[in-house]
Amino acid sequence: MIKTGHILAIFTIVFWGTTYISTKVLLVDFQPIEILLIRFLMGYLGLCVLCPTPAKKQSFSYELLLAMGGWSGITIYYLLENISLQYTTASNVGIIIAIAPCLTALLSRLFLKGQETLKPIFFLGFLIAMAGILLIHYNGTRMHLNPLGDFLAICASVAWAVYSIFSKKVGNLPMTTLQATRRIFLYGILAMIPGFIAMHGQLDPTLIVKPVNGLNLLFLGFGASALCFVLWNEAVKRIGAIKTSVYIYLTPVVTVTTSALILSEPVTWMEVMGIVLTMVGLILSNK
């Protein structure tokens, strides 16, 4: 029987794999930093409703652990990912972000000694999954490198790997996953505000309440942010940072499937091969 942690990770990735549609719609009226701040503010409010009692104030070391989770997984990761998309292609970013599970595994060996083990089959699965993701993203087209944008995407991937390690450590704190995620969101939002000001972000109520914008922001805020971060953190707590991060391989598979079902985009034979290879790599890595 599949463990609950795996089910939570799959559900979260399916959710996250569809967010690009909402983000694409919102980019018509909003800057990337504006979308990020609004969605995580909404997410934080949602977490306050779900968890009205905040966690008790922890020791400085524990609070620093929560703050590092918010800075790495929310502020730094999302800012770098969005900025990198302005300099390089979405395909390049998708490929580079997919190395996060491997980076998570390497960091786990350094900072989670004895808690999670690695076997050679993990790296074999990684290589097979990356081959599949390459087929899905490029689909016969040529890769175009952009040093600045690709480097920022690599930094984003590192930030998510770091967040995975902190998320595992946070799972051991004397608080519920909801309470921990709520505190992580708070630290992430506070760190995001200086970037919002520096990028001349604005919160225009007339744009936020537009039906198309409001619905997509609600989806990103309450669904993709509040709900999914809680589920992801719970999955990390149950099955570990490495096994949970491996499900990132599924993101392009979900994107292709969503595009076919919602946007009626055709699926090519290369994408089908890529999906098969990605699934094989996922299964091997999880062993």
pLDDT (tens digit, 9 = 90+) per residue, 13-60?
Answer: 888 877 777 877 888 898 888 999 999 999 999 999 988 888 787 788
Q: Is 185 within 8 Å of 41 (Cβ atoms)? A: no
Positive or negative CA dihedral for 194, 24, 81, 119?
Answer: positive
pLDDT in tens, the chain (287 residues): 568 888 999 999 888 877 777 877 888 898 888 999 999 999 999 999 988 888 787 788 889 999 999 999 999 998 888 788 778 776 677 778 888 888 888 888 777 766 666 778 888 888 888 888 778 777 666 666 677 888 888 899 899 999 998 988 888 888 899 999 999 999 999 999 998 998 888 888 999 999 999 999 999 999 999 999 999 999 998 888 888 988 888 887 877 777 677 666 677 788 788 888 888 888 887 77
How many Å is the Cα radius of gyration of the chain?
A: 18
Domain range for 211: 4-286
Closest CA to 169 of 239, 74, 237, 228: 237
Q: Residue 44 — φ and ψ, nearest 5°? A: -65, -40
Residue type for position 52: P
Instruction: Count the residues in the chain.
Output: 287
Q: What is the pTM of this model?
A: 0.85
- The three-point CA angle 201-48-194 to 5° equals 25
In whole angstroms, what is the distance from residue 248 CA to residue 225 CA?
16
- Report the pLDDT value the prediction gives residue 275, as an integer from 0 to 100: 80
At 208 the three-state DSSP class reads helix
- Report the pLDDT value the prediction gives residue 206, as an integer from 0 to 100: 92
Count of domains forming the chain: 1
List, in order, residues 6 or more apart from 185 with CB less than 8 Å away. 40, 43, 44, 47, 70, 74, 225, 226, 229
* Core vs surface per residue 8-46: b (16+ CB within 10 A) or e: bbbbbbbbbbbbbbbbebbeeebbbbbbbbbbbbbbbeb
Q: Is 258 within 8 Å of 219 (Cβ atoms)? A: no
List, in order, residues 6 or more apart from 110 with CB less than 8 Å away. none
Pull the structure tokens for residue 97.
């972000």
